[in-house]
Amino acid sequence: MDIDKTIKLAKGYFFYARNLAAGKVTNTVLDLLAILDYRLLIILSSWHPSHDARIRLLRKRGVNVSEKAWVDQGVWIEVTTPQAVVIDDYAKLGYGVVIYAHDASFNSVIDLPMRVKNTRIGYNSAVGTRSVILPGVNIGNHVGVMPGSVVTKDVPDGMVVGGNPAVIMGEAKDFGLLWQADLEVHPEIYFDHPNPSRAPSTPYDHLVTWRKAGVKVRHFTELRTGTPFDYIIEAKAGKAEKVH
């Protein structure tokens, strides 16, 4: 018996089991708090540790968010008029994204009414970390918004935008082809990841040829987490070395 491997597996799986149990208790308590206090509902719709719970709480607030969308922690979606925000299937919002649908800038300093416009994130579009989407903006389908962008106007389908204010940087398909070309040159830095938030099909599927070409990349289970989960990786890596 390999004692070192056994100890590593025990540590890793104990950590996993402990977090599963603690997670269930935490989720139950937070869900109860969200029901009792609307202020906490708003906060937890951004910070709840469970992704499914964040989607559910956003919908409870009135946000028109698809259950198939991905909303990271720290996303702040319109509080005053949440029903004016639409997030379509397979849209993805990175950490710290802010989405507005109302503008009260003049209303707050002079006797002018507040303005509300529907704001939409389209099918299979991705909004990068700490980007801001302003009221009335329509992000089209298959769009990429680079991290830190401030989007002030509509973005056509299949485009990548970036900057403050955001401008069109190019077509999404061209960025995808550049990514594929790089992975063919440096496959060792790429990890195959069966992402559940990925759309089942896109207009660019015919351009994705690396699998047919037989390019070998690493599996995502090799990724380090900086937690005791790494013990499991080390144990399995040791077993693989002995096999070879």
pLDDT per residue as tens digits for the range 33-92: 999 999 999 999 999 999 999 999 999 999 999 999 999 999 999 999 999 999 999 999
Averaged pLDDT, 199-225: 93
pLDDT in tens, 223-235: 888 888 888 888 8
User: Judging by beta carbons within 10 Å of its beta carbon (0-12, 13-18, 19+), is residue 50 exposed, middle or buried?
Assistant: middle
pLDDT class for 239, splitting at 50, 70, 90? Answer: low
User: Is-contact 66 91, C-beta < 8 A?
Assistant: yes
pLDDT in tens, 158-170: 999 999 999 999 9
Q: Under DSSP, is residue 182 helix (H, G, I), strand (E, B) or coil?
A: helix
User: Is-contact 157 142, C-beta < 8 A?
Assistant: yes
Going from N- to C-terminal start, the domains of the chain cover 37-213
pLDDT in tens, 160-198: 999 999 999 999 999 999 999 999 999 999 999 988 899
pLDDT in tens, 16-25: 899 999 999 9
How is domain 37-213 classified at the CATH fold level? UDP N-Acetylglucosamine Acyltransferase; domain 1 (2.160.10)
pLDDT in tens, 48-60: 999 999 999 999 9
Continuous segment of H or E residues that includes residue 168: strand 167-171
Locate tokens 């013990």: which residue?
A: 231
Q: Which two tokens stand for residue 99?
A: 């989405």
Alpha helices in 126-204 (DSSP H): 172-185
